[in-house]
A = this chain, B = another copy of it.
Amino acid sequence: MSKYSFLDDYSEGCHPRILESLSKTNLVQQTAYGDDEYSEKARSLIHEQIKSSEIPVFFVAGGTLANIIISSASLRSHEAVIAAHTGHIVVRETGAIEATGHKIISVQSDDGKLTPEAINTAVANNAHFPHMARPRLVYISNATETGTVYTKAELQALSLVCKDNGLLLLLDGARLGVALTAGVNDLSLADVAKLTDIFWIGGTKAGALIGEAIVIPNPELAKDFAFHIKQRGGLLAKGRLLGIQFMELFSDGLFFELTQHTNTMAQKLSDSITALGYRLAAPTESNQVFLILPDTLIASLKVNYDFYVWEKVDKQHSVTRMVTSWATDEKQVDALIAEIKKLSA
């Protein structure tokens, strides 16, 4: 890849501290299947963040796997999931949730978020029992698939509506790091643990090679969770690989430092390019920047940079999506801005 890529937030490996830690611990013999010292240390570091040492934490290799395991562990076969129509489980997981036997009740959403009203409506429209699957698990993502971020008030309201309706709240945190360090954010990890039944903290998009940490505040869901990890193929013999990564990410604030950098780079792109007179197609809340650019400009930029052209706006303009990551090189950001400036002069 000779161009510099703003395609996604998983084009590079991992933060160098993780590689160092892997090297340092490499030949120390450890108990398998997640019972190693590093996984224990990672758990206790996460416990510090969520201000509870009782809440179970499990590590798995990827996000779709996390969602599969969580669905399987949380639901009886007649129970359904409520999700925004833009949700990752709805549009990017090859029917993985349905493959575990569960219906997803898909709800239209303008900004990738669910609202209490949307949940109440979904519940009301799915109440003709036993002819309808019973809504049981509400799936949200933070940041959402389009980069928007939930506020504390919004999450509190969702939490409440779930409790009122006997629903479980699952937060997919593939991009929880950029959500929690976003400008508009007022949530802490401890808040998330307080307001959800189960959530996961994405490592892959926050500087790890792979790995997501599943946190289970609701003890009912935690009970037999390990069975589901194993049954769905998620129990790694060398669980240390996941433990070491989260141990590093949650030591000395590395996780937040990296996701903060990710957001800063996105904000710089967003602010600098709009300052040149270009418009955003959606506000830049986390690490996805949706800019409306002239097609001629896009063509020129594509020589040195990679990014998605999302959709046509009119005959001469398109929406582009640029994504930043923990590894985004600020020099490349500056160079891209300079090139747009030059080409727009």
Contacts and interface: CB of A to CB of B under 8 A. Distances in A.
A25 B13 contact: yes
A76 to B, nearest CB: 7
Interface string A2-46: 001100101111101001001101111111100000000000000
A40 to B, nearest CB: 13
Contact of A64 (B13, B19, B106, B235): B235
B241 A210 contact: yes
A6 B134 CA distance: 28
A92 B130 CA distance: 9
B94 A130 contact: yes
Interface stretch (A95-103, A113-121, A180-188, A336-344): A95-103
Nearest to A125: B91
A156 to B, nearest CB: 30
A218 to B, nearest CB: 16
Nearest to A208: B238
Interface stretch (A163-171, A222-230, A270-278): A222-230
A316 B172 CA distance: 46
A280 interface: no
Contact of A103 (B64, B98, B226): B98
A166 to B, nearest CB: 12
A106 B90 CA distance: 11
A26 B19 contact: yes
